[in-house]
Amino acid sequence: MLAYTAGDTDVPLLEETIGANFERIAARFPYQDALIEAAAVPGEEARRWSYSKLNDDVDRLARALLALGVAKGERVGIWSPNCAEWTILQYATAKIGAILVNVNPAYRSHELEFVVKQNGMRMLVTAPSDRNSDYTGMARQALAECPDLRELVFLPDAGLGGLAAGEPENEAERTYAELLKRADDVGHSALKARMAELDPHDPINLQYTSGTTGFPKGATLTHHNILNNGYSIGEQLGYTEHDRVVIPVPFYHCFGMVIGNLAALSHGAATIIPGRAFTPAAALEAVQDFGGTSLYGVPTMFIAELALPEFASYDLSTLRTGVMAGSLCPIEVMNRVITEMNMTDVAICYGMTETSPVSTMTRSVDTMAQRTETVGRTMPNLESRIVDPVTGEVLERGGIGELCTRGYAVMRGYWNQPDKTAEAIDADGWMHTGDLARMDDGGYIVIEGRIKDMVIRGGENVYPREIEEFLYTHPDIQDVQVIGVPDAKYGEELMACVILKPGAAPMDAASLAEFCRGKLAHYKIPRYVDVRESFPMTVSGKIRKVDMRQEAAARLGLPAGD
């Protein structure tokens, strides 16, 4: 049997824009909670929006943008950690057909200017500066250096004690409050007219890939791409207007704005922002304080939550589901999330920015093995197949090859980069993920790792995921990543980069090898051990193994490779 599956087609795709969908849901559930932002300062009240109030605030911002002359298809950037205004801007730009550009909050001036210039951004909405990031200064520098950038908008501080943006320095700058005042210049009829001009297949969102090699590329996503993907995820999770979804993952990434906002708000559920940045305590407090039924996170977030000394004191009884995604999910961690966090229906989602993002997902009806050892089955209205990375031929089930995805969720392309688009999407419309995977007889997919992360040791293909899963059973290991480092004899050798549990005994290569002996083939036993406090990560929670390989090679005095 060939390694190919097609998802269910029983549920038709939505043929509406994000704005039209939101108005429809807001009309059904006007008084339900739509958005809650936990107080930034202890003792203050959380900020709350019903669906009716949120729709009103979205409309006000949308009319303000129209008053400034923002046209359909123009790019509006958002450069900020999570906050309520992020969500409001996401829906306001969707209502007027402006393309929201998600700018990584970790970017600095060089990276910011690259993104602004690459897509011809017209407006940048930016967070206020804080003690770690001079957002205001870097935004002003971009305004001076990027000819297409015409307006800067500074978001409010919201009591975080950041450094104030100060008074706007020129007519190109305004505060968020000043921008909202412009809404009085445009009536609701103008907004309705703009919404009537929009097509679900118009591009509405630009998301820049992590750029682990070379410059980041802007994945161009349409209403149809991300609304349907978010809606489909919400359907698989069983969302209704009674759900309350805690979202500690960044809105900058598809995980936050699609799996989070769009999945919840297309079902009348509430979205809950625990804080501007992730802390394990704030995430669990949000579940406890607001009755969260669903919690999101990358594996490292769940590991941090489970490791809190006071973990057992949190009331997580309202939880039933959630999503673990962003990077490969350790089986041991998944088991603990299900048993210790009350997340009996938690799902693993797999995909990439270029596929809006989810292409496979586990379901609550799956067996424990399927929910912990695979990334589930192909999502509705999509196709998956596994091909030989060299020949492109579809493999038999059980064979390891490159996972490819086809269907409505595949991006329009990389913004202004047709050559890069052609490298990623083949002539038949298949998106090549760059991930090694295998498919079992039931159509469940197991991710073996990135093609570029596969280690070839003495002619043997070694998949780090297999070794990592085994090492998670070590009683002293809290987190682990396995990488390949250059070796004169074997071409590559294995290094286990480990974070130890508090109070654990010191670990070296000899003691780890003793733990592995007789349980792993000799060529899979790591030659090196690197005990670390943390792993280098992207803002979306993906571990940067390329950085770890370079650091390890430098420390061992070896050539870095690619």
pLDDT digits (tens, 9 = 90+) for 520-536: 988 899 999 999 999 99
Nearest to 322 by CA among 306, 307, 337: 337
Task: Evaluate whether 432 touches 384 at the Cβ level (below 8 Å).
Answer: no
Report d(CA 127, CA 287) in Å as an integer.
26
Residues 6+ apart with CB under 8 A from 390: none
174: number of Cβ within 10 Å: 19
Report d(CA 432, CA 245) in Å as an integer.
31
Predicted pLDDT of residue 170: 82
Predicted pLDDT of residue 540: 58
- The one-letter amino acid code at 136 reads T
Task: Evaluate whether 54 touches 88 at the Cβ level (below 8 Å).
Answer: yes
Q: What is the DSSP string of 314-375?
A: S--TT--EEEE-SS---HHHHHHHHHHS--TT-EEEEE-GGGSSEEEE--TTS-HHHHHHS-
Give the tens place of pLDDT for each residue, 256-300: 999 999 999 999 999 999 999 999 999 999 999 999 999 999 888
Report d(CA 471, CA 507) in Å as an integer.
13
Residues pairing with 523 in the sheet: none
- Number of continuous H segments (helices) and E segments (strands) in the chain: 18, 27
Report d(CA 562, CA 546) in Å as an integer.
8
* Assigned token pair, 59: 């409309």
Give the tens place of pLDDT for each residue, 370-397: 988 899 999 999 999 999 998 999 999 9
Q: How far is CA 176 from CA 158, 167, 172, 200, in A?
A: 12, 12, 13, 28
Query: Which 3 state secondary structure label does DSSP give 185?
Result: helix
Report d(CA 216, CA 206) in Å as an integer.
12
Q: How far is CA 57 from CA 78, 214, 262, 405, 472, in A?
A: 17, 39, 17, 37, 47
Residue 437 has, within 13 A of its CA and on its CB side, a CA count of: 31
CA 511 from centre of chain: 36
24: number of Cβ within 10 Å: 12
Predicted pLDDT of residue 544: 86
Radius of gyration of the chain (CA): 23
The C-alpha torsion from 465 through 469 and 475 to 478, rounded to 10°, is: 50
Predicted pLDDT of residue 319: 98
What is the DSSP code (8-state) at residue 557?
T
Report d(CA 461, CA 451) in Å as an integer.
11
Sign of the C-alpha dihedral computed for residues 420, 421, 424 and 427 taken in this order: negative
pTM above threshold 0.75: yes
Predicted pLDDT of residue 227: 98
Residue ranges in the chain whose pLDDT is less than 70:
158-167, 210-214, 539-541, 560-562
Farthest CA pair distance, the chain: 75
Domains recognised in the chain with CATH numbers: 15-29+37-223 (3.40.50.12780), 455-556 (3.30.300.30)
What is the DSSP code (8-state) at residue 393?
P
State the pairing for strand pair 460-462/99-102. unpaired
Buried-exposed string 48-74: b where 16+ CB fall within 10 A, e elsewhere: ebbbebbbebbbbbbbbbbbbebeeeb
Q: Give residue for tokens 């979202």.
A: 247
Buried-exposed string 83-99: b where 16+ CB fall within 10 A, e elsewhere: bbbbbbbbbbbbbbbbb
Predicted pLDDT of residue 163: 42
